[in-house]
């Protein structure tokens, strides 16, 4: 480690006691807390950080991430897991339910379900009346591939953008021709990649590469003669403040305790590390839906080009529908949007049930125009 330049500088500064610890910063006149970021009990010095704090018996800072440096305390609390726990304690119920739907692990989902029960028992009873496999990633068996209904609805926004205020006929035409152009463009791209010898789409390879990078350095322990069951351990960096985490991986059943393998149908870093241990190609564990030949099947059917309506040869047997001119929108001015509003469009005050306060006296029950303590303006009604 000493041969690495960055580590050499830190080690040399530690030997000379030149590290910017809190006791040295305080001696320079910087106003900081002198307590240790790891244990929070004693003054932070070089000797305390390197030789005492990490091995301090019953150190509470390693579990809850005491105040001080944000990055140091978050790492001691377990990274994002500590921040997520702190955020979930005060988050609204609707955001908690949203996280429950996206959660991949059943045990974490049950923990959030108990948290919802403590906050709102009526909401808990309503949620329990809906089958979990219909709205959660943790119990859907991987059929959604990690996507939710909102993700699928957002996928067609590019085709519907800017046409929601048009008449029905114009909306149908715009949707048809925009989708025809989209399928032609993406289909040409996918077929060219397949003909060039690519197995996966570049976007999927970009998502898979971080998993391959994370698989390096994991400790893999084979647990079966057939090289199908493994115990994979993530070795934390020195002085991170938490114990190594182990996961059970079953390559035959495509299962990992982290939940990503069975939810996304794509090998996680633990499954890739297990494959490297048994000299197996991890690409064989990827679901067929990610292969380019499956993507090309989506674009096999093309939208036929439609010519002018005057060239159509058809015998119309249905009556012609004419619009009522009395209900036609006014051409002048900005058109009014008729989009159906839902809970997402409501202000935060209405969703949380907070009363509306007067802008003058800051009391609930009336507005500034009807405030009894305000002198009436001559132009007010």
Per-residue model confidence as pLDDT tens digits over 246-256: 999 999 988 89
**Does residue 63 carry a pLDDT above 60?**
no
Task: State the average pLDDT over residues 116-126.
Answer: 88
d(CA 351, CA 121): 18
Q: Are residues 193 and 230 in the same domain?
A: no
Q: Is 18 part of a structural domain of the chain?
A: yes
Give pLDDT tens digits for 245-284: 899 999 998 889 888 888 888 899 999 999 999 999 998 9
Instruction: State the residue for tokens 């105040």.
Output: 67
Give the torsion sign (CA, 207, 210, 211, 212).
Answer: positive
51 shares a domain with 24: yes
Q: Work out the pLDDT band at 159, boundaries 50, 70, 90.
A: confident
pLDDT of residue 4: 53
State both tokens at 92. Answer: 């609204």
Residues 129 and 212 in one domain: no
Tell me, yes or no, whether 237 lies in a domain: yes
Residue 344 counted as domain residue: no
Q: Which tokens go with 266?
A: 């794509």
Q: What is the mean pLDDT of residues 320-332?
A: 75
Domain boundary among 135, 165, 197: 197
Of 260, 275, 297, which marks where a domain is finished? 297
Encode 32-74 in three state secondary structure: CCCECCCCCCCECCHHHHHHHHCCCCCCCHHHHCCCCCHHHHH
Residues 185 and 209 in one domain: no
Instruction: Give the least confident one: 29-33, 87-91, 121-125, 226-230.
Output: 87-91
In a domain, 334, yes or no: no
On whether residue 364 sits in a domain, the answer given is yes
Q: How confident is the model at residue 337 (pLDDT cuts 50, 70, 90)?
A: low
| Residues 226 and 253 placed together within one structural domain of the fold | yes
Q: What is the mean pLDDT of residues 342-358?
A: 72
Report the alpha-carbon distance of residue 134 to residue 50 in Å, rounded. 51
Q: Which two tokens stand for residue 23?
A: 């006791």
How large is the angle between the packed helices 202-214 and 269-277, nearest 10 degrees? Answer: 70
Q: pLDDT grade, residue 229 (50/70/90)?
A: very high
Q: What gap in Å lies between CA 100 and CA 115, rounded to an integer?
A: 11
Task: Tell me how many domains the chain contains.
Answer: 5
Q: Which helix (H) or strand (E) holds 247?
A: strand 245-250
State which residues form the domain around 359: 355-381
Do 178 and 207 fall into the same domain? no
As given in the structure block, the two tokens for residue 336 are 């009014």
248: number of CA atoms within 13 Å, CB side? 5
Strand partners, 334: none
Report CA 91 to chain centroid distance, whole Å. 16
Same domain, 14 and 69: yes
Confidence of residue 53 (pLDDT cuts 50, 70, 90): low
């Amino acid at each position: 480690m000493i041969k690495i330049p960055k580590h050499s500088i830190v080690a040399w500064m530690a030997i000379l006691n030149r590290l910017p610890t809190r006791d040295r910063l305080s001696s320079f006149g910087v106003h900081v807390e002198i307590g240790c970021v790891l244990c929070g009990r004693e003054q932070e010095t070089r000797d305390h950080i390197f030789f005492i704090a990490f091995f301090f018996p019953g150190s509470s800072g390693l579990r809850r991430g005491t105040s001080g440096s944000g990055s140091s305390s978050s790492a001691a609390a377990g990274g994002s897991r500590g921040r997520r726990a702190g955020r979930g304690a005060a988050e609204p119920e609707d955001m908690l339910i949203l996280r429950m739907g996206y959660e991949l692990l059943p045990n974490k989902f049950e923990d959030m379900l108990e948290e919802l029960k403590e906050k709102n028992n009526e909401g808990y009873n309503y949620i329990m009346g809906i089958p979990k496999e219909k709205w959660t990633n943790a119990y859907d068996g991987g059929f959604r591939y990690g996507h939710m209904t909102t993700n699928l609805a957002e996928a067609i926004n590019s085709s519907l953008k800017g046409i929601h205020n048009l008449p029905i006929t114009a909306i149908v035409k715009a949707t048809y021709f925009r989708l025809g152009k989209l399928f032609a463009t993406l289909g040409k791209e996918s077929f060219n990649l397949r003909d060039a010898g690519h197995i996966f789409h570049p976007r999927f390879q970009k998502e898979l590469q971080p998993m391959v990078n994370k698989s390096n350095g994991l400790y893999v322990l084979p647990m079966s003669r057939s090289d199908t069951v493994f115990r994979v351990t993530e070795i934390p960096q020195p002085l991170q403040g938490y114990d190594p985490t182990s996961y059970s991986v079953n390559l035959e059943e495509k299962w990992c305790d982290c939940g990503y393998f069975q939810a996304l149908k794509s090998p996680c870093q633990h499954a890739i590390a297990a494959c490297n241990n048994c000299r197996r190609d991890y690409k064989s564990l990827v679901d067929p839906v990610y292969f380019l030949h499956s993507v090309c099947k989506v674009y096999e059917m093309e939208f036929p080009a439609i010519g002018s309506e005057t060239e159509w040869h058809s015998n119309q047997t249905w009556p012609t529908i004419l619009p009522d001119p009395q209900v036609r929108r006014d051409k002048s001015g900005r058109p009014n949007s008729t989009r159906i509003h839902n809970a997402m469009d409501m202000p935060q005050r209405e969703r949380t049930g907070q009363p509306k306060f007067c802008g003058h006296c800051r009391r609930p029950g009336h507005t500034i125009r009807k405030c009894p303590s305000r002198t009436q303006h001559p132009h007010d009604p």
